[in-house]
Structure 1
Amino acid sequence: MKICFLMYPWDKVDPVSDSTLRLIHEAHLRGHTVAITTPTKLTIRDTVAYAFCQVLSRKIVAKTPHSLHKNASFQTKMLPLAGFDVIFLRANPPVDPVALNFLDSVKDSVFIMNDVDGVRIANNKVYTAALNDPDKRFVPTTHVSKNREYLERVLADAPSDRMILKPLDGYGGSGVIVIERSASANIRSLLDFYLGEKEDRYVIMQDFVEGAEEGDIRILMLNGEPIGAMKRVPADGELRANISRGGREVKHALSKAEKALCKHIGPKLVRDGLYFVGLDVIGGKLIEVNVLSPGGITRINRLNRVKLQRQIIDFAETVVRAKEMQAARKTAYRQAIEDAVAEG
């Protein structure tokens, strides 16, 4: 296969923990042609979408992701996006809407992980907040608004003294804070900061889930099914359990509630073309769906002595084979019709 990773620059890759590097290494081991590019290197030539790519040399022998990162050799080429079998969308959030526009032109002929339209609807926290959950089994009560008075009223009427406040388009735990009704004197200034002077930024206010101070669960989902999980424990004095915020990971087996959540959301993820995502879960409640560059592969691998990247590349290969078989059948059927007409 010919695989393009639309990602962050190669010099930003952390060889110790980077999930994308594990996927690249697995694809390279299998003999696939691997190219990497960034959203800033997309271009149009004669109405065709291209990217200035770094094509990984097939001559590199690398038994481990670390050695691949250290010894990688690239050739820079301008390549048509439609020539790839698979495009892995692994750029860091927030989503680049222009990059998605480039991908629109090839989404019908190239398998994109994740689907362009799916990424559009799920790239911020509204996707989680609006999940169909009438019985409130899987999602904490969530409010999304720009209206300061409404948000102040939400806090005043909340059943608990504590709520979570965070920006709609944040990632990696950025901007997540706990607000308390007892400290209401500070709420207006906090909302001024989060909403902006013109109240032009959406924020999320969400019920505080008990146990959040003990950490969260990252679940990796592939084609609607969980393939691995870990618990992230926050550093001392920190609410956020993100590894980038000093959290640490520990081994985790899915609870009954977490399995029920995966079963509930899995079919929707597949319908939306979100084949590889990360779920952030606290107390069996879905906090966030990560659809751009979900991480955790390396740490889950180490904790469980597995290689999740094999399952992910297996899935991509299966999808491409199915598309090729469908195209071959279509060609054969068309030829059969041509032959029948010619005989008549």
Structure 2
Amino acid sequence: MKLLFVADPLDTFKTHKDSTFAMMREAASRGHELWACEPQDIVWRRGEVVQARSRRITLTSDAIDWYEEQEVANMALASMDGVLMRKDPPFDPEYLYTTHLLTQAEREGAKVFNRPQALREHPEKLAILEFPLHIAPTLVTRDMDAIRAFHAEHRDIILKPLDGMGGMGIFRVRDDGLNLGSIAETLTNNGQQTIMVQGFLPAIVDGDKRVLLIDGEPVPYALARIPQGGEVRGNLAAGGKGVAQALSDSDWAIARHLGPILAARGLLLVGLDIIGDRLTEINVTSPTCFQEITDQTGWNVAQRFVDALEAAIARQQRQ
């Protein structure tokens, strides 16, 4: 099969931990042909189909020079057996425009994973609002009075921007309310930008767990990202320590509830973020942690993902 990965620049990959690289390596081991492009390489012109200036690559055994470029060509996305949207956040206007181009490619016959419409409809922080029974006390607002009232009720809270990634812009305000006004004014840009406010979850000391769903089925191990050095953030990008662990009963319950729902919407790969027994985010853009889980447990996440990808492509070809 020909697989096109829409991703960040290949030269920025950290191959020892990159999940997209793990996908590529597993796909290549099965004889699939690898192509790669960046979002800005995708174009559409009237009278033509969606195309991308793409590179066909083969993988090497070198950790630094990990790929070799075989050819560069303008490829119709519909000519590929599968297109994998793996561009990292932020989910900014350019990301949104790329999903619209990918939707047009779908109309022309392209098979895109995750489905671009589902990417648009599941903003990673706001998607949890559909499942209120699983989440912490949560407020979404840009109103300063509402934020102050939420703090007065819950006393220990987390404030975060809706477009952040890797733990950026996350603040904790404790019972004393120190700097609440300043933090809220900064994050909301003086009431111009909507943010999320949640009750603080003490279980963060045991980690912010990443639970992977592949075609609706949970991977049996999570990666708990444990805060270090007095940090409140467990994100690996913020210095958290990643520890793989078997799913808890509450992890299984949340994953089994959400898995079939999200898979039916065209989300082949989802990363649920869970603190204790509370769902905090639903990651759909480019979920990670494949290699960390595999390295620590021996459970081959990339193998399971490519199995699911091949099956999904076969289903669509039969339709």
Is the pair's TM-score, using the shorter chain for normalization, greater than 0.5? yes
**After superposition, what is the alpha-carbon deviation per residue over 1:80-137, rounded to whole angstroms, capped at 9, x for unaligned?**
1111121111101123111011101122422221111111011231111x1233xx3x
Name 1:169's counterpart in structure 2. 163
Corresponding residue number in structure 2 for 1:48: 49
**C-alpha contact (below 8 Å) 1:90/1:293 kept by paired residues:** yes
* 132 and 267 in structure 1: CA distance in 2 versus 1, 3 angstrom threshold: same
State whether residues 22 and 309 of structure 1, in contact with CA within 8 Å, keep that contact through their aligned partners in structure 2. yes
Equivalent position of 1:312 in the other structure? 305
For structure 2, which runs of at least 5 residues remain unmatched after alignment? none
The Cα offsets for residues 59-99 of structure 1, whole Å up to 9 and x where unpaired, read as x5x4x5x5595242342211111111211111011231110
Q: Work out whether 1:217 is the aligned partner of 2:209.
A: yes
**Residues 69 and 310 of structure 1: CA distance in aligned 2, closer, same or farther (over 3 Å):** farther
> Against the structure 1 CA distance between its residues 183 and 224, is the aligned structure 2 distance closer, same or farther, given a 3 Å change threshold?
same
Q: CA RMSD in A?
A: 1.7
Q: 1:204 pairs with 196, 204, 222, which one?
A: 196
Out of 135, 138, 146, the position equivalent to 1:139 is 135
How many residue pairs align between the two structures? 313
Matched residue, 1:239: 232
TM-score, length of structure 1 as denominator length: 0.86
CA distance in 2, matches of 1:268, 1:93: 23
Aligned residues of 2:124 and 2:284 also touching (Cα < 8 A):
no
Tell whether the 8 Å contact from 1:28 to 1:34 is kept in structure 2 after alignment: yes
- Deviation sequence 1:25-51 (CA, Å, 0-9, x none): 111121112111111111123432111
- Which residues in structure 2 correspond to 1:30-69 (within 5 Å)? 30-45=30-45, 46-57=47-58, 62=60, 66=62, 69=65
Aligned to 1:103: 102
Q: Tell me which residue corresponds to 1:116.
A: 116
1:182 aligns with one of 155, 176, 179: 176
1:276 and 2:285 matched: no
Following the alignment from structure 1 to structure 2, what is the Cα–Cα distance between the partners of residues 319 and 272? 13
Superposed displacement of residue 274, structure 1: 1.4
CA deviations on 1:133-154 (whole Å, 9 max, x unpaired) are 3xx3x11111101111111111
1:94 partner letter: P
**Structure 2: distance between partners of 1:71 and 1:154:** 51
Poorly superposed stretches of 4+, deviation over 3 Å: 66-69
Structure 1, unmatched stretches of 5+, are 327-344
Question: Which residue identity lines up with residue 248 of structure 1 in the other structure?
Answer: K
- Please name the residue that 1:18 is paired with: 18
1:90 aligns to what? 86
Q: Which residue type is aligned with residue 175 of structure 1? A: G
Does the 8 Å contact 1:232/1:250 carry over to 2?
A: yes
Compute the displacement of 1:222 (Å). 0.5
* CA spacing shift, 1:195–1:27, aligned 2, 3 Å: same
1:214: how far off? 3.1
User: Match for 1:114: what amino acid?
Assistant: N
Give the greater-gyration-radius structure (CA).
1
Inter-partner Cα distance in structure 2 for 1:310 and 1:68? 23
The percent of aligned pairs where both chains have the same amino acid is 28
Whether the 8 Å contact between 1:94 and 1:123 is mirrored in structure 2 is no
Are the counterparts in 2 of residues 56 and 73 from structure 1 also a CA contact under 8 Å?
yes
